[in-house]
A and B are shown apart, each in its own frame.
Chain A
Amino acid sequence: MKENKETVNIAFLGLGGQGIITLAKMIATSALDTGKKVCYNEIHGLSQRGGSVQSFLRLNEESSPLFASSDVDIVVGLEKMETLRYLYGIKEQKPKVILLDYFEIRNTNYFGLEVFPEEEEIDKEIKERAEELYIFDRENFKKQFKGNFIPYNVGIFSALTTFEELGITEEIGEKIVKKLLGKNILLSQVNKKAFKEGKKWIKKI
């Protein structure tokens, strides 16, 4: 395990509307709160919803938030196909992968596309390319909530506090969720709950 002082490079991958940027912001704010250096970057395209979104974050580093894919330590994927696309770019080593168990069924009529990867195939490929694979149990996490609003990103943030190299304690995590997502009284209750629940649903495969 790396010492806490060393740089930790994290890639967040997913789709527009999943809260990727907010997730990176939560990590960065926690880092600042504990007196660490941190920087991150967001890359997104044209669409409000559904387009590819990536965010890259570096702990204990303050100049370039972008890093070479060969230098990534942790890959946090909120959608399987987006995650595999990034993993394909890494030839040199295998990173630690934390993955939301979510595969977006796309409209297969895109360009009359018949060759469309099956979820099982993607699962297999991701597993092969990860040094350690942790799955966030989306279905069971979802069951803990009544409404339509389910903050998976907060759940993943909670799960990430269990990884020592990030150096985020439960206490800080809770404080950050309240600070960043506490404005709307109704939603803040859901976010609070998501933070409480999240860490229960991460499992090493």
Chain B
Amino acid sequence: MSVKRKNKIDNGIAETEEALFMGNHAVVQGLLEAGVGFTAAYPGTPSTEIQVRLAKLHEKGQLYFEYSVNEKVAFEVSAAAALSGVRSAVIMKHVGVNVASDAMMALAYFGVQGGMVIVAVDDPGCQSSQNEQDSRFWGKFAHIPVFEPSTPQEIRDFIPKIYDLSEKYNMLCMLRMTNFTSLSTGIVKHRPVEEKLSWNGEFVREIKYQIPARYLLHKGLHKSLKELVKDPLFDEFISLKESSSSSERLIITHGAIYPIVEYMAELYNFDGDILKIGAIFPLNEEKIAEIVKKYKYVYFVEELEPYLETEILAIIGRYNLNVTVLGKEKLQIPYENSLRPDALKEAFSRIVADPNDDSVFYEIPDPSPLPKIFDSEELLIPRTLPRLCDGCSHRGAFYSIKKATGEDFIIPSDIGCYALGQVQPVDVGDYWLCMGGGLGTALGMSKVNGKKVIAIIGDGTFFHAGMPALLDAVEYNHNITLAILDNSLTAMTGGQPSPSSTTWKRKDFNPINLEEVVKGLGVKWIKSVQAINVKENVKIVKEALEYQGPSVLIFKGECIVNKLRNMKTPVKPLSIDQELCTRCGNCLIDFACPSIVKEDGRIIIKQDTCTGCGYCAMVCPVNAIK
């Protein structure tokens, strides 16, 4: 089938300008230069900046972008574009791929007509995620080529090439990044793109989409992978940095941490060569074997899992190469967390040591851990814990829930700002699992523990993955209360619209009425309250908890960051009348706004951080806060 190409494409050759781009913005630049007209996403840090910029480009009319309700839907709308011959991209964080994977695994079998790339941004160190899964594994699992750039320049350079390969071999591809590549900024040579990119395509029916014998498509997929690795363009994703002297040693590493490995090699005067693998799957076995066989010692430096180590060890076996391999265990490279230079010091001291000296490769026992709340022993430096913002409306809802439930309730929480309610001193919420997982587990918790359970969710997460679980609650009359903390925003990722955002101005956007959705799912007990009425809300929470069966309580309150952003008048901070204050600690301990602190035995409000939200005034039993 031939595709009429409407958008101008160049292969990243013409470079006319230099500018500072963060990795995420370099992704957008790459997409523009590749002529990608159709994009969709669900907000997720560390990939958010890509989406925010695409949303702006949509506003300008340059391409199509939507914040879909979840990653699976985002994937599917983009897949349709690709099946209709339009170059498309779908952007998400690593765990979003789990949600999208049902569609992804099957689309890989179909193949694409217009090039399609799924951008997956991993979060080693779980800086803003529930886990640190390694997306490189999706390639082998889903049979999709996976590429991994190392710098903003490389991100921009890779993308048009990936689209060329995606289209040439009709394969869905993945661009895997990490929080390091995403959030690193560098100078990028690029060609500014001003023209409008079309997103009009035409779907052509093909028998392969319909036939039941899908295993034949699986067969075709393996054939395509074999052809792809032989493509000269595919070779450009692998590069060897050779030292001046011929060396016996080779470090093999991957795109995401290459700059750090290169830096460490220099710092430790490593005299060998470094192989950077930017095409994670499939691996060009022949080429890798040819390179590896020139060395006596091969070192693997990888962040998260020893993926390349395992794969290349198999190649070494198949090609019968006589090399000594030192990997994750021998070099004592942690499996967990992001690999910053300091975390690689031990590994590099081993890499530059004599590989035959066994005394170098002892196992390091785990250091005795400090109590969880401290970072350093020297002077006890407490860890700076993530917290709800000064003036966050969720804090009001948490106060009411805390007062109504006491110690006796199981409180599953979910993914979003309100997950921070679990952090002391707010301390509302027992766990967070995955998007929508709080409500889902609440159903089982209530059944098995034989009592009412109150689950907490935000508006964005409710639409994303909470609705099916609520339907289940109605279907089986599970004895749960769902507290929806509605700020009509995807707030944690920096304030993207959620389906119920009334403030988002976009012509083709219809805000969804949350109450009607809940009603439509069959819930009989629904109440909507303003989160600021903290005292009255305690009673209403109790009512919701007394109801046998599923009840839903919606707390409304604006995101303070968004409110401050749009505020025209200066903030008026509140203060505590020390004459009236009884030092009961209600505001300090139970409400726990970071702006309220103890100083010289008095409770005061920090004037430079108070947002004047007024919640604490509602909490005070003696009206001392004004």
Interface residues of A (CB under 8 A from B): 15, 24-25, 28-29, 32, 37-52, 62-69, 71, 81-82, 84-85, 88-89, 105-111, 113, 115-117, 121-122, 125, 147-150
Contact = CB atoms under 8 A, between A and B. Distances in A.
29 contacts: A29-B20, A43-B127, A43-B183, A46-B492, A47-B386, A48-B389, A49-B390, A50-B389, A51-B385, A51-B387, A62-B151, A63-B263, A65-B184, A66-B260, A68-B341, A68-B342, A68-B345, A69-B342, A81-B384, A82-B384, A88-B376, A106-B384, A107-B597, A107-B598, A109-B588, A110-B373, A113-B382, A125-B378, A125-B379
B185 A66 contact: no
B13 interface: no
B569 to A, nearest CB: 10
Contacts of A115: 380
A47 B380 CA distance: 23
Contacts of A24: 185
A106 B184 CA distance: 30
Interface string B403-444: 000000000000001011000110000000000000000000
Nearest to A65: B184
Nearest to A150: B608
Contacts of B264: 68
B282 interface: no
Given A85-B375, A148-B571, A107 B492 contact: no
A162 B62 CA distance: 43
Interface in B255-269: 259-260, 262-264, 267
B508 interface: no
A109 B20 CA distance: 42
B561 interface: yes
Contacts of B378: 88, 125
Contacts of A66: 180, 259-260, 263, 340-341
Interface of B: 18-20, 127-128, 151, 179-180, 183-187, 259-260, 262-264, 267, 340-342, 345, 373, 375-376, 378-382, 384-390, 417, 419-420, 424-425, 491-492, 494, 561, 570-571, 573, 588-589, 592, 594, 596-599, 606, 608
Nearest to B268: A68
Given A40-B185, A51-B384, A68 B561 contact: no
Contacts of B380: 115, 117
Contacts of A64: 259-260, 262-263, 341
Given A29-B20, A37-B187, A107 B592 contact: yes
A45 B123 CA distance: 11
Given A45-B128, A66-B340, A89-B342, A25 B185 contact: yes
Contacts of B420: 46-47
B381 A88 contact: yes
B267 A40 contact: no
B183 A42 contact: yes
A197 to B, nearest CB: 17
Given A46-B386, A48-B389, A64-B259, A41 B589 contact: no
B598 A32 contact: no
Contacts of A39: 151, 184-187
A108 B184 contact: no
A45 to B, nearest CB: 5
B184 A41 contact: yes
A64 B378 CA distance: 30
Q: Which of A69, A82, A111 has the most chain B CB atoms inside 10 A of its CB? A: A111
